[in-house]
């Protein structure tokens, strides 16, 4: 199969995961059209620099016209919000997408308590608009970002895709569960294959500034106090970006092969609606995570202990058995390596001289 014969849509292409996925897909020969609304939920300059890293002309990107990458053949970008139905419809009419990967969303658990309508609009209305375009254009498969937050108040560890997910602890989590339910309905009604990707605490270079690793590194380097919730009694299944992208690429390849008719659908893949946990299957205690950042940065953290915050859960832990069985998924990056890679990127990106020789 010639990868170039099939075009993939990636929404949220200027975001953390979308940027890395787009780069990976074009590097292995797929044609990719990336969409992003370039909103200012976090530092917009970081999103712009991700686009530059993809070889895109930022001024052209801002125009709303389709912009081709100068360094990644097969990659183009269009500034578009999923709620802009006319533009989205025109994009689908112009391109013949075989697969769409929806990574566009309003992110952030705590912000969802401050601005709930932003989550309904972006994560529910935008998602339905995308599904409608997929239905009208008879797209083969839609992969979409769900979240480990759908497990909510579940106290059984590790989190299994067979566990109940009807106790969301934040509006963000509720919108992600809503995505899964809406995808189920569209799959049954319109025969669109849909795959929900329940990501677990993604981290690494080019990561989001509102995530723990970014905030902790920035604060420690600047001698600022970091907030430690639940008095440090938390653990997260931190999953490195390369492992996340590797899993998504494997699923894309499988769906592409099925779409081309080159592979008969067997076993679990015959189910047109599926969800997968994409995590590390190796949770890390929050305090151990902080100590790893201290070790790499070479500076002590100033900490303020706080209670568990609304919307937070004490622990996450991914059961990845289905992802491993269906796609051979095996996360390869440990936290020590991942933290070091992030800190090195952070120091380089912000042109900061290392405060010690710890990671030289």
pLDDT at 20: 98
- Residue 141's pLDDT band, with cuts at 50, 70 and 90, is very high
User: What mean pLDDT do residues 185-199 have?
Assistant: 96
User: What mean pLDDT do residues 105-110 have?
Assistant: 80
pLDDT at 112: 76
CA distance 61 to 58: 5
pLDDT at 115: 83
Please provide the average confidence, as pLDDT, over all residues in the chain. 93
Strand-pair category, 7-11 with 302-305: unpaired
CA distance 121 to 225: 34
Instruction: Choose the weakest-confidence range: 33-37, 115-119, 205-209, 324-328.
Output: 115-119
- Over its C-alpha atoms, the chain yields an Rg (Å, rounded) of 20
pLDDT at 359: 46
Summarize pLDDT for 39-62 with one digit per residue, the tens: 988 899 999 999 999 999 989 988
pLDDT at 109: 75
- Residue 355's pLDDT band, with cuts at 50, 70 and 90, is low
Q: Which residues are catalytic?
A: 172
Summarize pLDDT for 244-254 with one digit per residue, the tens: 999 999 999 99
Q: Which domains occur in the chain, in start order?
A: 3-202+240-278 (3.40.50.720)
User: What mean pLDDT do residues 112-140 have?
Assistant: 93
Q: At what angle do helices 44-53 and 16-27 cross, to 10 degrees?
A: 0
pLDDT at 357: 44
Q: Does residue 108 register a pLDDT over 80?
A: no
pLDDT at 218: 97
CA distance 208 to 189: 36
pLDDT at 310: 84
Task: Identify any residues that bridge with 323 across adjacent strands, giving them in sequence order.
Answer: none
Percent of the chain with pLDDT over 70: 96
Tokens 């294959």 belong to residue: 193
pLDDT at 6: 81
Summarize pLDDT for 264-319 with one digit per residue, the tens: 777 788 999 999 999 999 999 999 999 999 999 999 999 999 998 887 889 999 99
User: What mean pLDDT do residues 164-178 have?
Assistant: 93
- Residue 3's pLDDT band, with cuts at 50, 70 and 90, is low
Instruction: Choose the weakest-confidence range: 12-26, 117-131, 226-240, 249-263.
Output: 249-263
The token pair at 60 is 């052209």
Secondary structure in 3-state letters for the chain: CCHHHCEEEEECCCCHHHHHHHHHHHHCCCEEEEEECCCCCCCHHHHHHHHHHCCCCHHHHHCCCCEECCCCCCEEEEECCCCCHHHHHHHHHHCCEEEEEECCCCCCCCHHHHCHHHHHHHHHHHHHHHHHHHHHCCCCEEEEEEEHHHHCCCCCCCECCCCCCCCCCCHHHHHHHHHHHHHHHHHHHHCCEEEEEEECCEECCCCCCCCHHHHHHHHHHCCCEEEEHHHHCCEECCEEHHHHHHHHHHHHHHHHHHHHCCCCCCHHHHCCEEEEEECCCCCEEHHHHHHHHHHHHCCCCEEEECCCCCCCCCECCECCHHHHHHHCCCCCCCHHHHHHHHHHHHHHHCCCCCCCCCCC
Q: Does residue 86 register a pLDDT over 70?
A: yes
């Amino acid at each position: 199969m010639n990868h170039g014969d099939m075009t993939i849509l990636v929404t949220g292409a200027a975001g953390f995961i979308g940027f890395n996925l787009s780069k990976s897909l074009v590097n292995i020969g797929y044609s990719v059209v990336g969409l992003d609304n370039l909103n200012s939920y976090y530092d917009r300059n970081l999103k712009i620099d991700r686009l530059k890293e993809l070889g895109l002309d930022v001024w052209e990107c801002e125009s709303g016209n389709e912009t081709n990458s100068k360094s990644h053949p097969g990659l183009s970008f269009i500034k578009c919000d999923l709620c802009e139905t006319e533009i989205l419809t025109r994009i689908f009419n112009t391109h013949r997408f075989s697969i769409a990967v929806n990574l566009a969303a309003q992110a952030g658990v705590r912000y969802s308590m401050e601005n709930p309508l932003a989550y309904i609009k972006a994560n529910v209305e935008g998602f339905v608009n995308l599904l409608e375009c997929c239905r009208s254009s008879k797209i083969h498969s839609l992969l979409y970002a769900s979240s480990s937050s759908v497990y909510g108040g579940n106290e059984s560890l590790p989190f299994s895709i067979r566990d109940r997910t009807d106790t969301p602890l934040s509006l963000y989590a509720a919108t992600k569960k809503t995505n899964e339910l809406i995808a189920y309905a569209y799959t049954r009604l319109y025969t669109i294959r849909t795959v929900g990707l329940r990501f677990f605490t993604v981290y690494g270079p080019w990561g989001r500034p509102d995530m723990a690793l970014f905030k902790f590194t920035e604060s420690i380097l600047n001698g600022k106090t970091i907030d430690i919730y639940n008095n440090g009694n938390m653990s997260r299944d931190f999953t490195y970006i390369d492992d996340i992208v590797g899993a998504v690429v494997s699923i894309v390849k499988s769906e592409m092969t099925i779409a081309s008719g080159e592979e008969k659908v067997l076993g679990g893949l015959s189910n047109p609606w599926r969800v997968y946990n994409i995590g590390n299957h190796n949770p890390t205690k929050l305090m151990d995570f902080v100590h790893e950042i201290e070790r790499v940065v070479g500076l002590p953290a100033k900490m303020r202990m706080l209670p568990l915050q609304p919307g937070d859960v004490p622990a996450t832990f991914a059961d990845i058995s289905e992802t491993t069985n269906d796609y051979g998924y095996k996360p390869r990056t440990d936290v020590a390596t991942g933290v070091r890679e992030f800190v090195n990127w952070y120091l380089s990106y912000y042109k900061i001289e290392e405060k010690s020789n710890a990671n030289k």
